[in-house]
Chain A
């Protein structure tokens, strides 16, 4: 097992390197003088000052050299300075990343605790009304724009009914109850696609499991229906959750950019959007890099979880 993890992690290194190159490459797309873009607006710069910036970011070197020097700094956690706040980008990202992580995890947990039981029930009551409703919801959940669902939720629960807060963020570790109250609507909107996919996957996995011999044997042995479901079925239904996790991490981050903006959650996504409007290039670059790395790590976790859960995958592979 450890051998497998080590091998997968090693395999990840060249990919990681490529990712950093792609992120750095964004800068090459800037039209005109990148030195101007790097310091951001609000500074009236003369040629001398621009030359200093070029030297600081090695912009006069060949692209490959620029990249290697940048990578060296990035590896030490130096992602440059935000042109808006003049604080180090890594420092700006640290607080926001924690928020996005917390938010993403709540969305994910919500998706699992709603999606898995719904999928299982829908399989158990196959062809009944409950199954029908669950299937409809899972189809709609994939096609609905998550931010539009958020807008509609704000309209209904915030504006019309006034039941739930529609904006802002309270740290769950500081005030769990209030934190969750603030998180419900955005997490629901962010997680809807994952929720629909988990429901769909658990349903089909469950149907497959229910048809298998050992469940029939277990039933025949007189185990209670609930125990049969709990013991055998559930264990086998974990795989779909892992699958969806692997597929959805990237989209959860992408979704967070929009949902954080909509609900005013001060996470990485919100930060990125503000940075785009402020032409704060270093900040955007840092945020994109961090998110891409997070997706990569999530993919690794998915692979490992797969290998661990599914005996058919050999660790040596």
Chain B
């Protein structure tokens, strides 16, 4: 594998990847520093400026209740990042061990795990989220849980296919022959070699998680108002589409940019880290 320095250089060498990194970095900084960057409370209602366009008081306009769109988009970015990190993290935490176990033990263990994965893969994250919302109601936890569960089978499959290749390599057989323990082989030899494809898939999944969260918020079964999320913003903006289209445009663009950024970075990482995967993922 390439050295860290040259990896970064190669990644930034791809122009669209650089764009992606910048967008993600800006989003992270904005959401971490939200209270200092945007001094307006996203729930504060300015009843003298309802549905305003771009003004000095409201740089990206205000909504039906006079809440500042900029503040809400920035706070919405927090939620978007929380959801995507949480969901993908959950997917990796559950999916990776499953994938490794199935490869390592082959036989019936592999069969059982893979059948479970096959079953899980037919549930798109949105469907899981709607089901969970019906059972326990929509919330940040439900949304992360739903998208996380939907990520599990994909992570497990990727780890499995990668690990299958590595397993057969000489150095693993050699280690096995010299009596190194199973756990040690998995952790020391197989797992590190799976990192690249997992990072690639995770980055792409984060984009999809942002899309799913927004869709759930839009249909009203995701994180409940008045929490400012991009999906909730689009939901309450839709009835006002004629009076103030800006309200519908801004959060949509925010989603679009962040997802684009995740996809660009994911693509670039795939090209750099693991060219064999080109065209395999999504």
Contacts and interface: CB of A to CB of B under 8 A. Distances in A.
A23 B134 CA distance: 12
A139 B260 CA distance: 8
Interface string A263-296: 0000000001101110111001100100111011
A101 B252 CA distance: 28
Given A139-B260, A145-B211, A279 B124 contact: no
Given A14-B115, A247-B282, A258 B135 contact: no
A144 B124 contact: no
Which label, helix, strand, loop or mixed, suits the secondary structure of the A interface?
A: helix
Interface stretch (B4-12, B67-75, B85-93, B212-220): B212-220
A148 B219 contact: no
B256 A145 contact: yes
B82 interface: no
Interface string A1-36: 000000000000011101100110011011100000
Interface string B97-141: 000000000000000000110111111111100111111100000
Interface stretch (A110-118, A219-227, A249-257): A249-257
A284 B131 contact: yes
Given A15-B118, A26-B134, A30-B136, A276 B221 contact: yes
21 contacts: A18-B116, A19-B122, A22-B123, A26-B132, A27-B135, A31-B136, A140-B260, A144-B259, A147-B234, A148-B234, A148-B248, A148-B255, A204-B279, A247-B282, A250-B127, A253-B127, A255-B126, A257-B219, A273-B130, A281-B134, A295-B122
A154 interface: yes
A273 B134 CA distance: 9
A284 B115 contact: no
A26 B132 CA distance: 7
Contact of A279 (B120, B134, B214): B134
Contacts of B252: 145, 148, 151-152
Interface of B: 115-116, 118-127, 130-136, 207, 211-212, 214-215, 218-221, 234, 238, 241-242, 245, 248-249, 252, 255-256, 259-260, 263, 279, 282
Contacts of A26: 131-132, 134-135
A276 B133 contact: yes
B135 A145 contact: no
Given A147-B214, A295-B122, 5 more contacts: A18-B118, A143-B259, A143-B263, A159-B242, A257-B126
Contacts of B256: 140, 143-145, 148
Contacts of B212: 254
Contacts of B123: 19, 22, 250, 288, 292, 295
Given A22-B123, A155-B245, A275-B134, A147 B263 contact: no
A66 B54 CA distance: 58
A142 interface: yes
A278 B115 CA distance: 34
Binding site of B, secondary structure by majority: helix, strand, loop or mixed?
Answer: helix
Contacts of A144: 256, 259
B215 A147 contact: yes
B224 to A, nearest CB: 12
Contacts of A15: 115, 118-119, 122
A261 interface: yes
Q: Which among B127, B259, B282 has the highest number of chain A CB atoms within 10 Å? A: B127
A222 B44 CA distance: 73
Contacts of B241: 151, 154-155, 159
Contact of B134 (A253, A262, A276): A276
Interface in A88-142: 139-140, 142
Contacts of A197: 282
Nearest to A288: B131
B130 A18 contact: no
B122, B127, B245: residue with the most chain A Cβ atoms closer than 10 Å = B122
Nearest to A149: B252
Contacts of B249: 152
A258 B132 contact: no
B122 A292 contact: yes
A143 B116 contact: no
B127 A254 contact: yes
A79 to B, nearest CB: 14
Contacts of A299: 122
Nearest to B214: A145
**Minimum-distance CB pairs A-B, first 10:** A18-B119, A254-B124, A254-B126, A148-B252, A284-B134, A295-B122, A143-B259, A143-B260, A250-B124, A29-B135
A258 B130 contact: no
A29 to B, nearest CB: 4
A147 B218 contact: yes
A151 B135 contact: no
A46 B248 CA distance: 46
Nearest to A240: B279
B130 A257 contact: yes
B127 A257 contact: yes
A87 to B, nearest CB: 18
A55 B241 CA distance: 50
B122 A250 contact: yes
Contacts of A19: 119, 122-123
